[in-house]
A and B are shown apart, each in its own frame.
Chain A
Amino acid sequence: MRKLIICTMLAAGLAGGALRADTLQLEGSTTVGPIADAFAEYFKSIYPDLQITVKKTGSGDGAAALVDARCDIANMSRFMKEKEFKDAVAKNIFPVAHVVAMDGVCVIVHPSNPVKALTTAQVRDIYMGKIKNWKELGGPDMPIVPISRDTSSGTYETFHELVMAKQEMAANIEYVNANPQAHARVKGTPGAIGYVGLGFVDTSVKALEMDKVKPSRKTIATGTYPVSRPLYMFTAGYPKLGSMTHRFVTFHYTEKGQELIEAKGFVPLTNY
């Protein structure tokens, strides 16, 4: 008898859950991934029945998944390519871009280093192994120790695209697997140069001016800093107002959303 009761309760619970459960599938960029993860975690805490999965497979996969209707939101660190857009329209899907945050990568050096500003081309030459000593850039006679993030990180992707212009880095580049580690290595190595998200710049390292623009929330949010780019979430058409997808892609307007974006080292889209 008791078993029967438990069974019916379970069945009822399952059925009820299935009826109420909302699902949200996100797929795409590893750069936007952390923002989506943070949003998803917060959404799960306010909507306990909501099933959110965030897959980090790359922007291209995100676009493909949206076209195939395998996901509700495609996270992308670049705009859709012409071909992806055409494929989508051919399937009667009209992609809408929601810019959720700005991503800026700051080039940092040891605070004792007198070099204050570099151009994008100079940084590229350093990472390509063409410039090997700080004295070539007006600094002391000290070999440059270039430090990069691991090639699977989103920060690397941004740097690789906007600074390196997709050129190969030299073989002597050191790799670290997290922003705090990159920060620690630059902080402890007088000849080092590295790059981190804006959220990781503090007084123990020096962020360089790039092409004469100092990295700050304002220059990144307005896009004047050369190593900044918008981060997108794409939906198939503008989502139905009030739907979970709609709430998700507009969450970055809220104070909590902006807080989460900043906590992940990105720049929210406000102008204050």
Chain B
Amino acid sequence: MDKGNSTLTLKRTAGTFRPLALTPSEDLKGYILAHLGRAVLFLIACTSVIAIFLIFLFVIRESVGFLQTESLWGYLSKTGWYPQAEPAKFGSVAIIAGSLYVTAASLAFAVPIGILAAAFLSDIVSFRIRAVVKPVIELLAAIPSVAYGFFAVLILAPFLQKKFGFPTGTNALNASIILAVMALPTIISVAEDSISALGRELREASYSLGATRMETMFKVVIPAAHSGIIAAVVLGMMRAIGETMVVWMASGNAAQIPHPWWDISQSVRTMTATIAGEMGETPKDTSHYYALFMMGVLLLVLTFSLNIVSEYFLSRAKKATGRA
């Protein structure tokens, strides 16, 4: 009897006679289903948020053990990294400096090239060439980092040694060059988007005032697109600072601050390389293990704050183009 009824309602709903008033059970069912569906979809949408949250939680939890035995200040102010010594020394200054060295040097290569390439792609080159060049640049991002690493060790390192007479080819310069190449696709495509989003009016106004193409580019277009360009640089920076395999293979991994400080032909070691190189064989729940997680926390905080900065500038870039 009950079955017959529900088929009847089904038929009715398919037709034009849908009753306006639902029975209480139908009402309840619909209510539960709708909310259940919402909840499930919400959970799915939240997966990545939950993942980030759990990563933070886990990494911080594992690093807390470090603070119980060692001091955070000593960690951040000393240079000797001797996890295997007795007593072990965990001074991360040289390693943090190593990360900053390769990141800064890679940006010094990648930012000018990236911005110029973006300006060229958006304003100068013909559409036909652009349609070929842009995908090729973006293809750079698809090459696995270990392949870059092999290139760095087997080709770039001997080349640097022979060409410039460096005692060692795996050094900060080598890692920075490779990181610059890896950061370029990000920088170019984000900067190019923001430059081409500026619209014709700005450029035409500049031309009408008698500015040349170069003046328009450097004095009007690039300054106007600065929010997007800064966001592009920050995104490239995150790529460089978080990269692991390449720096582990190319930077030489000497936990030292180059002396003199500007000499990037010396080996350095980054935070990511330290974690990747040492985590595999480190016994769990030792101070070495905790120290590596502490480094992970530092790295997370660093990339997280960079991410916030890039989000801020990206939203500003969006607002600026929205107004124009």
Interface residues, chain A, with chain B CB atoms under 8 Å away: 30, 56-58, 61, 142-143, 145, 150-153, 156-157, 160, 166, 168-169, 171-177, 181, 184-185, 188-192
Contacts and interface: CB of A to CB of B under 8 A. Distances in A.
A239 B43 CA distance: 55
Chain A's interface: helix, strand, loop or mixed, by majority? Answer: loop
Given A61-B283, A189-B169, A175 B254 contact: yes
A188 B255 contact: no
B166 to A, nearest CB: 9
Nearest to B83: A151
A98 B255 CA distance: 38
Contacts of B169: 188-189
Given A143-B167, A189-B161, A192-B168, A174 B254 contact: yes
Contact of B283 (A58, A150, A153, A173): A58
A191 B267 CA distance: 14
A152 B278 contact: yes
B168 A152 contact: no
B287 interface: no
A150 B253 CA distance: 9
Given A57-B283, A181-B153, A188-B169, A166 B86 contact: yes
Interface of B: 79-80, 82-86, 89, 94, 153-154, 157-158, 161, 167-170, 248-249, 252-256, 266-267, 269, 277-278, 280-283
A196 B278 CA distance: 18
Interface centre among A143, A150, A175, A192, by most chain B C-beta atoms within 10 angstroms, is: A175
A175 B249 CA distance: 9
A36 B272 CA distance: 30
B158 to A, nearest CB: 5
Nearest to A58: B283
B261 to A, nearest CB: 14
A152 B255 contact: no
Given A168-B82, A174-B254, A152 B153 contact: no
10 contacts: A152-B281, A152-B282, A160-B84, A171-B254, A171-B255, A174-B252, A175-B254, A175-B269, A181-B153, A189-B161
Contacts of B256: 171-172
A168 B85 contact: yes
Contact of B267 (A30, A168, A172, A190): A172
A157 B83 CA distance: 12
A169 B89 CA distance: 12
A14 B158 CA distance: 57
Q: Binding site of B, secondary structure by majority: helix, strand, loop or mixed?
A: loop
A161 B313 CA distance: 53
A27 B168 CA distance: 38
Contact of B167 (A145, A157, A175): A145
A181 B252 CA distance: 11
Contacts of A160: 84
A56 B168 contact: no
**What 9 pairs across the A-B complex have the smallest Cβ distances?**
A152-B281, A175-B253, A171-B256, A174-B252, A143-B167, A145-B168, A151-B84, A174-B267, A57-B283
A174 B157 contact: no
A58 to B, nearest CB: 6
B255 A153 contact: no
Contacts of B85: 166, 168
Contact of A152 (B82, B94, B280): B280
B253 A176 contact: yes
A141 to B, nearest CB: 12
Nearest to B267: A174
Contacts of A184: 153-154
A191 to B, nearest CB: 5
Contacts of B269: 175
B281 A153 contact: yes
Nearest to B256: A171
A175 B254 CA distance: 6
Nearest to B158: A188
A56 B281 contact: yes
A172 B84 contact: no
B157 A173 contact: no
Contacts of B266: 172
A173 B281 contact: no
A248 B167 CA distance: 47
A96 B46 CA distance: 56
Nearest to B79: A171
A177 B248 contact: yes
A191 B161 CA distance: 11
Nearest to A184: B153
A151 B282 CA distance: 10
Given A61-B283, A145-B167, A150 B278 contact: yes
A15 B79 CA distance: 57
A61 B281 CA distance: 13
